[in-house]
Amino acid sequence: MAKLYFRYGAMGSAKTMNLLAVANNYELQGKRVVLIKPEIDDRFGAEIIKSRTGLSRNADICVKSDTDLDYAAFEGIDCVLVDECQFLSEYVIHQLRNITVDLNIPVICYGLRTNFKTRLFEGSRRLMELADAIEEVKTTCYFCNRKAVYNIKLKTGGSYTDGAEIELGAEELYRPTCCRCFEERIGVGNPLRNAGHGNGQHPDDRVELWLVRHGETNENAARILSGQINATLSPLGINQARDIGEKLRHVHFDAIYSSTLQRAIRSAELAGFQPQPVDALREFHFGDYDGQLIPSLPQDWIKKLYDFSDDFQSPNGESVEDVKRRVTAFLDTLQPGRYLIFCHGGVIRTIGRNLGVDRFLQNGTALIVDWTNKDILGNLE
């Protein structure tokens, strides 16, 4: 008996080119094929099947959700090829399956497995359930070199999981992504994470923080304690800020903040953002020790600093509790949404402590936090 095949892949995996190549190979052997496409896919014309390489040909049959396929149209046919099968209804998928059984003709369906919300399309779901053979057409992630498994929706610089499932004629909005890059760019509304909270909370009803530690400063490199002194970015720090900006450029943020200290503001600007400075996000005020060489300071005090001890206190400066109080007071004013914050190692470590972890970031990296549910979502390095 002939088989029903489902060949799926992420956006840009050359599925349509593969289909057209298979059609050409059959015809070079003197065999006949029928090409089917959903009528809803009218990007290049109601009857045109076209790949991104420019190859195209007319479909023999365009189907709607309630189309009845006439067996007479398949007399003498050696293979049926279906493009954009994810848009087909279960009703049509059942008929394609029946063609393999009743007419002994192989049917090869090409399409996406999941939409930009990581959910199966109707046609893809039924094919996953019915197909005799399921094969992946592989491609690499648009943002890195890992294998793409999802499709991400980009619009006006952001990444989205809302809107209509089908948005034809807008291929530039979608990119193939691996799991890691999908999560890094989606943030709030991440369908891979939200289902796990179990609290009935809508994903958009939480505050998500992307906390970026500023780039390395000349003072960091010289081992000068830099609390609220006017430290300046080193050449490495400038590159770190630019690098993190490249990784953040496709992520949508509801607002962007920074510490009022110049190294944080400058890091945000080099990353391509115009932040709103917030005084509560400043680094620790180290009092009498601010701006001093770290090796010259009392060793017991340095140990408490590195350990981030609860009883840590700078002479004429701030304690851990002081910083926690002012940072938390600001974060608790934020409305649900995704926020990018350029700040400092001590501030980020304080926030992490509030979530039950002790996390010290390297310069030019980020910690992603669900502030509402007090959860660490990941890192960006």
Q: What is the pTM of this model?
A: 0.55
Same domain membership, residue 129 and residue 208: no
Model pLDDT for residues 44-80, shown as the tens digit of each residue? 777 889 888 888 899 999 999 999 999 999 999 999 9
Answer with the one of 120, 138, 156 that is the final residue of a domain.
Answer: 138
Q: Alpha-carbon distance 232 to 208, whole Å? A: 29
Residue 190 included in any domain: no
Same domain membership, residue 366 and residue 239: yes
Q: Alpha-carbon distance 124 to 87, whole Å? A: 8
Same domain membership, residue 361 and residue 217: yes
Number of domains in the chain: 2
For residue 187, what pLDDT is reported? 61
pLDDT at 275 over 90: yes
Same domain membership, residue 108 and residue 205: no
For residue 161, what pLDDT is reported? 54
Is 84 part of the annotated catalytic residue set? Answer: yes
Same domain membership, residue 255 and residue 132: no
Residue 66 included in any domain: yes
Average pLDDT, the chain: 87
- Quote the domain boundaries for residue 319: 201-380
Q: How confident is the model at residue 309 (pLDDT cuts 50, 70, 90)?
A: confident
Residue 218 included in any domain: yes
CATH number at 331 reads: 3.40.50.1240
Model pLDDT for residues 320-341, shown as the tens digit of each residue? 899 999 999 999 999 988 899 9
- Higher per-residue confidence, 183 vs 259: 259
Same domain membership, residue 264 and residue 347: yes
Residue 150 included in any domain: no
* Segment 345-370 mean pLDDT: 89
CATH number at 20 reads: 3.40.50.300
Residue 145 included in any domain: no
Residue 164 included in any domain: no
* Segment 176-189 mean pLDDT: 77
For residue 163, what pLDDT is reported? 52
pLDDT at 199 over 50: no
For residue 167, what pLDDT is reported? 54
Answer with the one of 138, 156, 191 that is the final residue of a domain.
Answer: 138
Same domain membership, residue 220 and residue 91: no
Residue 187 included in any domain: no
Q: Alpha-carbon distance 104 to 101, whole Å? A: 5
Q: How confident is the model at residue 135 (pLDDT cuts 50, 70, 90)?
A: very high
Burial (Cβ within 10 Å: 0-12, 13-18, ≥19) of residue 202: exposed
Answer with the one of 138, 153, 171 that is the final residue of a domain.
Answer: 138
Most confidently modeled of 102-116, 182-196, 243-257?
102-116
Catalytic residue of the set 39, 84, 172, 183: 84
Residue 345 included in any domain: yes
Least confident of 25-39, 180-194, 196-210, 302-316: 196-210
For residue 198, what pLDDT is reported? 37
Least confident of 199-203, 283-287, 336-340, 363-367: 199-203
